[in-house]
């Protein structure tokens, strides 16, 4: 591992994407979302995408200076054509539009298609919550890697789901997870460490229980979390993220471009209901009670979003640990682009 301060990783990333034609503003935003993923502990969605996104720019899948455009709109809704720019730019446009409409009309729904990989989806719901809006976010991933419950073979992407709410206190409320038992990144980590994985994470290509992290890349698949209940949420993300927005489903049979997301945010203004001040007061009280619940031995009860908050505080101080292999790839990329590495 190479430990690098967050700010240094950011400056490097900004130079990488500016060297490929992105404006400084866009590069800074994009890189901010990736470094934030590392800071919050979600390395699977972090700076290793400097390399992957650069490949996709080169292959023509990511159009660096395209602008997402609203193609259909009402006071409470919008549908956005992402124009295949960075998915993060499109997702931010979705969040901004949803929050703006919810501020004025109390409830809004905004979706997007032609959208590349948007990264860690909690980034956008948390942003909404910081602007005093409750946001739920249904995202499909147009590459199948997860089975249906009781199914053999890949059927869906990891179809993440997120909810965030304003709390008015230091305690966040941020639900943000893949609807598979684990994100694909955890398998990658286990493979790199040559460690075994729990039997309820994946199946091998024959549908057999396995503890081998290599089984995934050899035709295996991830399982949905929580049996049929997780499958319900997995399919809700498929219908709302992909079908409702006209994006690619996991079972479409289409594989190009390589990593599309179909995204749909529902935004709710507490002012339309109990009122913002009361919502925050009552949420703070509830979360405080939850945090002080007695816990099973060796554990504590956490509010969704707390692990991310704690990781960010730690990593802002200590820096971000990047695997040697990833760091090597980033340096090679910089060398090709003529970007200086300190």
Residues 156-175 that bind its own copies (CB under 8 A): 163, 165, 173, 175
50 vs 84, beta carbon nearer its own copies? 84
> Tokens 């909690």 sit at which residue?
122
The least CB distance from residue 272 to its own copies, in Å, is: 4
- Contact window for its own copies (CB under 8 A) among 29-37, 89-97, 293-301, 317-325: 293-301
Nearest distance from C-beta of residue 15 to its own copies, angstroms? 37
Cβ–Cβ < 8 Å for 263, 280: no
Residues 3 and 319 sit within 8 Å (Cβ to Cβ): yes
Residues 302-341 that bind its own copies (CB under 8 A): 302-304
Provide the minimum distance between the beta carbon of 13 and its own copies in the complex, in angstroms, as a whole number.
30
Instruction: Kindly indicate which of the ranges 34-42, 51-59, 246-254, 322-330 contains the residues binding its own copies, using the contact rule CB under 8 A.
Output: 246-254
Residue of 189, 286, 331, 337 interacting with its own copies (CB under 8 A): 286
The contacts of residue 260 (CB under 8 Å, 6+ apart) are 114, 115, 116, 117, 141, 142, 143, 247, 248
Q: Which range in 16-24, 44-52, 151-159, 308-316 contacts its own copies by CB under 8 A?
A: 151-159
Residue 273 interacting with its own copies (CB under 8 A)? yes
Is 279 a binding residue for its own copies by CB under 8 A? The answer is yes
The residues facing 315 across adjacent strands are none
Binders of its own copies in range 22-61 (CB under 8 A): none
Q: Which of residues 78-97 bind its own copies (CB under 8 A)?
A: 79
Site residues (CB under 8 A) for its own copies, limited to 120-139: 134, 136
- 109 binds its own copies, rule: CB under 8 A: yes
Q: How many residues bind its own copies (CB under 8 A)?
A: 74
Q: Check binding of 282 to its own copies (CB under 8 A).
A: yes
Q: What's the DSSP call for residue 25?
A: H
Following DSSP, what letter does each residue of 165-208 receive, concatenated?
---SSSS--EEEE-SBSS-HHHHHHHHHHT----TTTEE-TTS-
Least separation, in Å, of the C-beta of 91 and its own copies? 16
For CA atoms 187, 189, 193, 196, the dihedral sign is: negative
Q: Answer for the pair 106, 136: CB distance below 8 angstroms, yes or no.
A: no
Q: Which stretch binds its own copies (CB under 8 A): 27-35, 37-45, 213-221, 240-248?
A: 240-248
Contact between 159 and 237 under an 8 Å Cβ cutoff? The reply is yes
Nearer Cβ to its own copies (288/335): 288
> Given the rule CB under 8 A, which of 83-91, 279-287, 310-318, 319-327 is the region that contacts its own copies?
279-287
Is 3 in a helix, a strand, or coil? strand
- Report the distance separating Cα 35 and Cα 39, nearest Å: 6
Of 177-236, binders to its own copies (CB under 8 A) are 177, 179, 207, 225-233, 235-236
SS3 108: strand
Sign of CA pseudo-dihedral 299, 302, 304, 305: negative
Q: Cα–Cα distance between 228 and 339 in angstroms, integer? A: 48
Backbone φ, ψ for residue 277 (5° rounding): -60, -45
Question: Is residue 106 a contact residue for its own copies (CB under 8 A)?
Answer: yes
């Amino acid at each position: 591992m190479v430990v690098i301060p967050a700010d240094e990783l950011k400056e490097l990333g900004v130079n990488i994407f500016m060297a490929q034609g992105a404006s400084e503003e866009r590069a800074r935003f994009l890189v901010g979302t990736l470094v934030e993923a590392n800071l919050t502990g979600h390395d699977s969605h972090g700076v290793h995408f400097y390399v992957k996104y650069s490949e996709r720019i080169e292959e023509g899948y990511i159009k660096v200076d395209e602008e997402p455009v609203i193609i259909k709109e009402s006071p409470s809704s919008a549908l956005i054509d992402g124009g295949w720019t960075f998915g993060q730019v499109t997702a931010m446009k979705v969040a901004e539009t949803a929050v703006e409409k919810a501020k004025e009309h109390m409830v809004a729904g905004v979706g997007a298609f032609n959208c590349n990989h948007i990264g860690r989806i909690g980034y956008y719901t948390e942003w909404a919550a910081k602007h005093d809006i409750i946001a739920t976010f249904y995202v499909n991933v147009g590459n199948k890697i997860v089975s249906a419950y009781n199914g053999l073979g890949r059927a869906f992407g990891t179809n993440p789901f997120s909810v965030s709410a304003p709390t008015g206190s230091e305690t966040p409320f941020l639900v943000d997870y893949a609807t598979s038992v684990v994100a694909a990144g955890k398998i990658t980590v286990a493979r790199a460490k040559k460690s075994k994985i729990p039997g309820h994470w994946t199946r091998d290509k024959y549908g057999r229980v396995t503890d081998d992290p290599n089984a995934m890349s050899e035709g295996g698949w991830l399982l949905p979390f929580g049996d049929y209940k997780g499958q319900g949420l997995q399919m809700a993300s498929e219908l709302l993220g992909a079908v409702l927005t006209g994006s690619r489903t996991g079972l479409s049979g289409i594989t190009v471009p390589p990593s599309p997301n179909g995204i749909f945010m529902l935004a709710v203004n507490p002012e339309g209901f109990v009122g913002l001040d009361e919502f925050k007061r009552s949420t703070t009280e509830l979360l405080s009670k939850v945090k002080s619940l007695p816990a099973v031995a060796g554990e504590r009860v956490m509010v969704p979003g707390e692990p991310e908050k704690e990781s960010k505080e730690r990593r802002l101080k200590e820096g971000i640990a990047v695997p040697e292999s990833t760091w090597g790839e980033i340096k090679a990329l910089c060398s090709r682009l003529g970007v200086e590495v300190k």
